[in-house]
Amino acid sequence: MKLSILLIAGCLLSLAWLFTPQNSTANAFKARDAVSAKAAFAEAYKVFMHPRCINCHPAGDAPLRGEDSQPHSGLRLRRGVDGGGVLTLKCTNCHQSNNQQGLHMPPGAPNVLGDGFLDFTTPRWRLPSAKTPMIFQGRTAAELCRQLKNPQENGGLSAERLIHHVSNDPLVLWGWNPGEGRTTPPLTHDQFVASVREWLDNGGACPK
Amino acid sequence: MKNVTFILNGKSTTVEVDPDKPLLWVLREDLGLTGTKYGCGMAVCGCCTVHLEGDAIRSCVTPMSRVDGKRVTTIEGLSKDLSHPVQKAWMQIQVPQCGYCQPGQMMSAACLLSQKPKPTDTDISEAMSGNLCRCGTYQRVRKAIHLAASLAAESGGRK
């Protein structure tokens, strides 16, 4: 009796599968993923557009500062080949491994050693390199999305390494510990990483 | 407190300090090298500029933990006999007015010339933009840097 019921149920399932339009199901699945991916990217985009991120991902060749993303007043800074500044004006001439205490004091972040440990005796403060400047400022969500996924523009980062970067890079984490007088992005760091992960795990579709 | 050992003006130097203490105050208070000046204390004016591994850093915000094991050069260490091209040029042009910012100006100029032996006016404007002078000696600073570049070239490229 039990065997008969199982056989009938199996036949019904097979028939149902045969009569289900497979392509449209697959497309619907992909479409759902794309919707989730775009929604997740829209959340992460709020962070990318915050001054804590914009200021070191400028459209020009020099870093910005403050909540209104102004140039460093007076200083004629340039990115340089490696993003660390040039001649007498290298970023780490002023920026240390930690935020300096007090309003308007230089912020800082530690370097990362090869094994992933943080080196608090060596500061890590720089723009992206001249070769891959990773501009955020002025980018629409669609433009930034495409740029972040393009290995030729993102410094050769795979999806996995991009998630690792936003999860662990001291300069990214600094955005949520920016020192006195500076605002933090609108999402928590965990929410931001979750959004980036959801965007990429769902195929990394970009908004139009 | 921690022992920090570094090469100061060519000599190995050890100090027992709080690793967070800024290099400026170790130079001035603990080691008696008062040529490096305190200006703003927030890495803005450039008065406290010294060289750390050849870079023109702001000693007022540089913790001693960063200095451990590194080479530091102060204005006292540019030369023992005022023979550095920057020192010669500064004296020949009579750059200083009140003089307070000049050690920082000279250390930035020396750093610039070590990387750009023949700097253009644009190079100088960029490189010296982090050193403020309330007396307004900027044009003499520019002239002295060009002269220092010439003196270095004449003496076989010493920077």
Residue ranges matching CATH 1.10.150.120 in chain B: 85-154
Q: At what angle do helices A189-201 and A22-48 cross, to 10 degrees?
A: 150
Residue B9 has pLDDT above 90, yes or no: yes
Instruction: Give the count of beta carbons closer than 10 Å to the beta carbon of residue B152.
Output: 21
CATH superfamily of B2-77: Beta-grasp domain (3.10.20.30)
Candidate from A93, A100, A102 with C-beta closest to B57: A93
Give the pLDDT of residue B29: 98
Instruction: Give the 3-state secondary structure of residue A158.
Output: coil
- CB spacing of A102 vs B55 below 8 angstroms: no
How is chain A split among helix, strand and coil, in percent rounded to 5? 45, 10, 50
Q: Which two tokens stand for residue B91?
A: 């004296």
Q: CB neighbours of B27 closer than 8 A, spacing ≥ 6?
A: B33, B34, B36, B50, B59, B74
Give the pLDDT of residue A5: 56
- CB spacing of B57 vs A76 below 8 angstroms: no
Candidate from A87, A89, A105 with C-beta closest to B116: A87
Q: What's the maximum distance between 2 C-alpha atoms anywhere in chain A? A: 88
Give the pLDDT of residue B94: 98
Give the pLDDT of residue A4: 57
Q: What is the pLDDT of residues B87-97, one digit of tens each?
A: 999 999 999 99
CA distance A73 to A62: 11
* Closest chain A residue to B66, measured at CA: A121
Give the pLDDT of residue A8: 55
Give the pLDDT of residue A13: 46
Instruction: Give the 3-state secondary structure of residue B84.
Output: coil
| Fold observed for domain B85-154 | DNA polymerase; domain 1 (1.10.150)
Read out DSSP for A60-126?
SSS-EETTTTEE-SS------TTSSEETTEEGGGT--SSPPSSTTPPP--EEE-TTS-EEEEEE---
Give the pLDDT of residue A113: 87
Give the pLDDT of residue B112: 98
| Domain residue limits, chain A | 35-201
- Which residues of chain A are modeled with pLDDT < 50? 11-26
Give the pLDDT of residue A11: 47
Give the pLDDT of residue A3: 52
Secondary element (H or E) of residue A199: helix A189-201
Give the pLDDT of residue B49: 98
Strands B2-8 and B71-73: parallel
Give the pLDDT of residue A9: 53
- The ipTM of this complex is 0.95
Task: Give which of A73, A75, A78, A88 to mutate to test B binding, by max B Cβ within 10 Å.
Answer: A88
Residue B128, chain A, CB below 8 Å: the answer is yes
Closest-CA distance of chain B to residue A46, Å: 31
Candidate from A74, A94, A102 with C-beta closest to B58: A94
Q: What is the pLDDT of residues B91-143, one digit of tens each?
A: 999 999 999 999 999 999 999 999 999 999 999 999 999 999 999 999 999 99
